[in-house]
Amino acid sequence: MAIRERMSGNEAVANAMRQINPDVIAAFPITPSTEIPQYFSTYVANGKVDTEFVTVESEHSAMSACVGSEAAGARTFTATSSCGLALMFEVLYIASSSRLPITMAVVNRALSGPININADHSDSMPTRDSGWLQIYSENNQEAYDNFIQAVRIGEHEDVRLPVMVCQDGFITSHAVENIELIEDEKVKNFVGEYSPKHYLLNPEESMSVGPYDSTHFYMEHKRQQAEGMINSKKVIMEVAKDFEKMTGRKYGMFESYKLDDAETAIVIINSTAGTAKDAIDILRSEGKKVGLLKIRIFRPFPAEEIAKALEGKLAVAVMDRAEGFSSCGGPVFAEVRSALYDSLNKPKMINYIYGLGGRDVKTQNIMEVYSALDEIKNTGDIGSTYRYLSVRE
Amino acid sequence: MGKTNIDENVKWTDITEGGNIYERGNSSEFKTGDWRTSKPIFIEDKCKQCMLCAPVCPDSAIPVKDGKRLDFDYYHCKGCGICAKACRFNAIEMVKE
């Protein structure tokens, strides 16, 4: 029987880590992800896990320790947020190009500056090209479920890439909600043992990791790395299928909410999807055909699948909780709009920058977005494609 | 070809993950001689086998066998010219590569 509990997103992820009992965790505290290594250190102190917990002096060191440990053959986790993730940036590329399937909990928080500790996606979005898989979570349950699945996805022999599992700072990480935990043994069996083919601590084989790659080889390595990302789509769906068998909870590349017959839709990532679902329920009760596409997997980007799901809609708003400063929209918008380029029946599409630095998003705000989409639907006039939601003007 | 088969024609499907090397003691197999812009020429007639050149080579690119230096190892020589400076008998001449 599944365990009914109530806990925050941070505690949920820490519990997933405890149940998996990894070989190594190397982490440095930063708001709002601090609780994850904090909870975990109590599990270590209380003997609930036999993980080697490495306390480091910075996030650059945390990720470097993770690279060393994963290369040694140890299943390795970490957690971070915001400027911590930014400080890891250099080493993120080392991890992915060395094909080290580290699993990292990212608790999304605004990047400085101005300095701010609240939720937005300006920390994980710049890392979208780092070669890590990115999985986003609407609530504590998804953060927990995604973390467990992420370990198997990244370590799969056809993928062998690191994975970050993201959730919104404070909104998800600190709000206590109901959750259904899986039994420890079931989690352990689901994830299985980590047995890489090559690893530094193998007494039977000498190995060098991370040698200089001259111009004759670098491009071949990047192409090979890209193949891991391409392969990961299939693996993500296989792992989701097995996870559904175990828990009854279904996951895909994205979640559609009342999207099939919708005329207008919004595309969103993480916790605001919950708010949007409430707004949709209200609007649906008024007879409005509105829907939602919540992206779960941003890397690899499910372009074809998203295009198929949005084809034929009349107007779509893509929501970005990060400024890309391109002066023409955020990163999610750029990718979603590009995904629809080859569609014959593509919707009119606008972008909203929203929720920066923890700016609250209410159902009323989401309904404003649907009103804007209605106007585009009715007048055929798209207006500005690059908009801000709830900014004082 | 050595143990690692470092081959500039290797396809992306056949190259090792991240350039990892699953052998030990193989750095000598990495061809670094192609960085060279000028090249030392060994003039054997003038050489007295005084052994001033071999120890100053930063790349161990002057092989010595039975107390005698042999011709340059151009697989690793980077053409720095230190050997030509060290030679007292004009037995090493630097030419453009």
CATH code of B70's domain: 3.30.70.20
Which of B10, B17, B22 comes nearest A205 by C-beta? B22
Q: What is the tens place of the pLDDT at every residue in A261-301?
A: 999 999 999 999 999 999 999 999 999 999 999 999 999 99
B27 domain residue, yes or no: no
**What is the percent of chain B where pLDDT is above 70?**
94
Which of B11, B21, B22 comes nearest A220 by C-beta? B11
Q: Rg for chain A (alpha carbons), in Å?
A: 21
Are the Cβ atoms of B21 and A224 closer than 8 angstroms? no
B45 domain residue, yes or no: yes
* Predicted local distance difference test score (pLDDT) of residue A45: 98
**Is A286 touching B (CB cutoff 8 A)?**
no
| Closest residue of chain A to B8, computed from CA coordinates | A216
Domain boundaries A254-388, CATH class:
alpha beta
Cα B7 from Cα B18, distance rounded (Å): 15
B-chain CB neighbours of A224 within 8 Å are: 12-13, 15, 17
Cα B17 from Cα A160, distance rounded (Å): 9
For residue B1, name the pLDDT band (cuts at 50, 70, 90): very low
Residue B4 pLDDT exceeds 70: no
B79 domain residue, yes or no: yes
* Predicted local distance difference test score (pLDDT) of residue B27: 79
- Count how many pairs of residues, chain A against chain B, have C-beta atoms within 8 Å: 51
B59 domain residue, yes or no: yes
A26 Ramachandran zone, left/alpha/beta (phi>0; psi -120 to 50): beta
First to last CA, chain A: 53
Are the Cβ atoms of B8 and A97 closer than 8 angstroms? no
Residue B24 pLDDT exceeds 90: no
Q: What is the tens place of the pLDDT at every residue in A301-316?
A: 999 999 999 999 999 9
Q: What is the signed CA dihedral for A5, A6, A7, A12, rounded to 10 degrees?
A: 40
Cα A42 from Cα A196, distance rounded (Å): 29
B3: closest CA of chain A, how far (Å): 12
Cα A319 from Cα A352, distance rounded (Å): 5
B46 domain residue, yes or no: yes
* Predicted local distance difference test score (pLDDT) of residue B23: 85
With a CB cutoff of 8 Å and minimum separation 6, the contacts of B37 are B79, B96, B97
Instruction: Please name which of A133, A155, A137, A168 lies closest in space to residue A20, comparing C-alpha atoms.
Output: A155
Q: A110 is written with which tokens?
A: 């605004």
Domain span at residue B81 reads: 38-96
Instruction: Please name which of A75, A104, A231 lies closest in space to residue A157, comparing C-alpha atoms.
Output: A231
A-chain CB neighbours of B31 within 8 Å are: none
**Is A224 touching B (CB cutoff 8 A)?**
yes
Are the Cβ atoms of B20 and A221 closer than 8 angstroms? no
* Residue whose entry in the numeric block shows the structure tokens 């919004």: A266
Full-model pTM: 0.92
Q: What is the mean pLDDT of residues B48-56?
A: 97
A-chain CB neighbours of B13 within 8 Å are: 224
Cα A74 from Cα A71, distance rounded (Å): 7
B-chain CB neighbours of A99 within 8 Å are: 17-18
The count of domains in chain B is 1
Instruction: Extract the residue ranges of chain A whose pLDDT is less than 70.
Output: none
**Is A202 touching B (CB cutoff 8 A)?**
no
Interface list for chain B against chain A, based on CB atoms closer than 8 Å: 8, 10-13, 15, 17-24
Q: Are A229 and A302 in contact (CB under 8 A)?
A: no
For residue B3, name the pLDDT band (cuts at 50, 70, 90): low
* Predicted local distance difference test score (pLDDT) of residue B42: 97
Cα A258 from Cα A284, distance rounded (Å): 9
All CATH 3.40.50.920 domain ranges in chain A, comma separated: 254-388
Instruction: Please name which of A72, A61, A77 lies closest in space to residue A21, comparing C-alpha atoms.
Output: A77
Cα A226 from Cα A165, distance rounded (Å): 20
* Predicted local distance difference test score (pLDDT) of residue B2: 47
Are the Cβ atoms of A206 and B22 closer than 8 angstroms? yes
| Closest residue of chain B to A71, computed from CA coordinates | B20
CATH superfamily placement of domain A3-192+211-247 = Thiamin diphosphate (ThDP)-binding fold, Pyr/PP domains (3.40.50.970)
All CATH 3.40.50.970 domain ranges in chain A, comma separated: 3-192+211-247
* Predicted local distance difference test score (pLDDT) of residue B6: 66
B91 domain residue, yes or no: yes
Are the Cβ atoms of A220 and B12 closer than 8 angstroms? yes
B-chain CB neighbours of A220 within 8 Å are: 10-12, 15
Measured CA angle at A134 (ends A129, A136), to 5 deg: 135
With a CB cutoff of 8 Å and minimum separation 6, the contacts of A350 are A315, A316, A317, A318, A372, A373, A376, A382, A383, A384, A385, A386, A387
Q: Are A386 and A351 in contact (CB under 8 A)?
A: yes
B12: closest CA of chain A, how far (Å): 4
* Predicted local distance difference test score (pLDDT) of residue A354: 98
B-chain CB neighbours of A219 within 8 Å are: 12
